[in-house]
Amino acid sequence: MSVSQPVISIAVVGCGTVGGAVCEILLRDRELLATRSGVRLQLKYIVDRNFDAAKNLRLDDTLFETNLDHVLTDDDVSVVVELVGGTTTARTITEQALRAGKHVVTANKALLAHHGAELLALARENGVTLAFEAAVGGGIPIVRALYDGLVANTVDAIYGIVNGTCNFILTEMIEKEQSYEEALWAAQSRGLAEADPSLDVQGVDSAHKIALMAAMAFGIQVDFDEVPVQGIDQLEQDDVMYADTLGYVVKLLAIATRVGNGISLRVRPAFISREHALSWVSGPFNAISVYGHATGHTMYYGRGAGGAPTASAVVSDIIGIASGTYPAFFERFAFWPDRNPPQKLVPVEETYSRFYVRTMVDDTPGALARIASIFGAHGISIASVLQDELPEINGGDQEPHLVPVVITLHPAREANLLSAVAEIDALDATGEASAVITIVDEHPENVG
């Protein structure tokens, strides 16, 4: 290694699972990183309230610091890595670091989904960079792909399986025919789900990520509160099994699509055709499909969470800053969301999709005809009907006179679909509320 290599001093704030892994990489692989990047990365501070995790990793206690002000006033520190999580303390730390003229690297998706535009603007005002590769895909380099690798493309659609907890749960439900509760317990017992899994299973984590990807891909400011979110916590095993019968698998999808001159975002469970590459993503793995007007379909696959994969993305951002690559991109490109006005999203009710509808119907003559008539009155065309008690699926626990009717539909306006289903559920001939799930076939034209 050349002694003339520049030295970049780094402070890591938050030494939990990801922070500890970042510190380990910076210390263990310093020579490799210097050889590859041409810059020597020096870990100068590990900032936290207590250092139990750092001590368990046997990190050098001379690096420990509890006073953030000491770090921010140290002119040697060029990069602050924010890994404390949440949106309150993390926001304060990020703002203070940017105002102090420090580049910031973060893995905090919630912070960026709610405050990204203002933080990006603050970074630009102070001539520094806010880098966030790890906040979206963990170990999957999707941010760099969007702003660099796909820069020659107009992005038409993004479909992502971006929550490993949910994908593991769904894999268990599909492959082992477990109930949602059984699969959640399996995820928790393996350390793949939190004791309170709400942010994951209710789709909020995925919504944070698709909001960030949409901001990058479409150059817009996204109001996170406008993103429609539906998780997997209400998903029934019956629907997972019917998906298999019909040639689909169930995944929690984060979706962003162009709709006319607008953009539509949503997070929801979806039936994905076995012909679609995303259908093969199993266990805790993530994958993101991007459709560009020039490239067509590209897909990015890997571990979306965990200490080492996320730390890999964090260190990549640090090197991007240290090498000067990121600041150049950050200043030059016009599609950063803070440089564009907020854009109201196209309501999901105005989008068109294929749908699966399962309803419990009185097994009497004419009941199915009334349902078909309602769909027709709303301009919705039926693709297929499956009327079978399928005791191995529904367990025979429904009311004796009701049978499940499964209907798949051709592309329909979602508002029309919801109105039709409300009418169907109000019929005397139907039972419990119908299950409605989006269908995604091989090509993105079927959604959006």
Instruction: Give the CA distances from residue 66 to residues 46, 48, 300, in Å, rounded to whole numbers and listed in that order.
Output: 8, 5, 38
Q: What angle do CA 92, 311, 128 make, to 5 degrees?
A: 45
| CA separation, residue 441 to residues 64, 173, 182 (Å) | 52, 21, 29
Query: What residues contact residue 32 under an 8 Å CB cut-off, 6+ apart?
Result: none
- The alpha carbon torsion through 209, 210, 213, 215 (nearest 10 deg) reads -110
Token pair in block for residue 244 = 């298999």
Mention every residue, 6+ apart, whose C-beta is less than 8 A from residue 95: 119, 122
Q: What are 310's two structure tokens? A: 């996320």
Which burial class, exposed, middle or buried, applies to 20 when counting CB atoms under 10 A from its CB (0-12, 13-18, 19+)? buried
Length of the chain: 448
Which residue type does 145 have? A
55 is catalytic: no
| Residues pairing with 439 in the sheet | 271, 354
Give the β-pairing of 103-106 and 130-131.
parallel
Collapsing DSSP to helix, strand or coil, 212 comes out as: helix
Q: Which pair of tokens denotes residue 201?
A: 């299973």
Residue of 44, 102, 209, 251 marked active site: 209
**Cα distance between residue 318 and residue 321, in whole Å:** 5
Structure tokens at 391: 């005791």
> CB of 268 within 8 A of CB of 306?
no
Give yes or no for a contact between 232 and 180, defined as CB atoms under 8 angstroms apart. Answer: yes
- What are the catalytic residues? 209
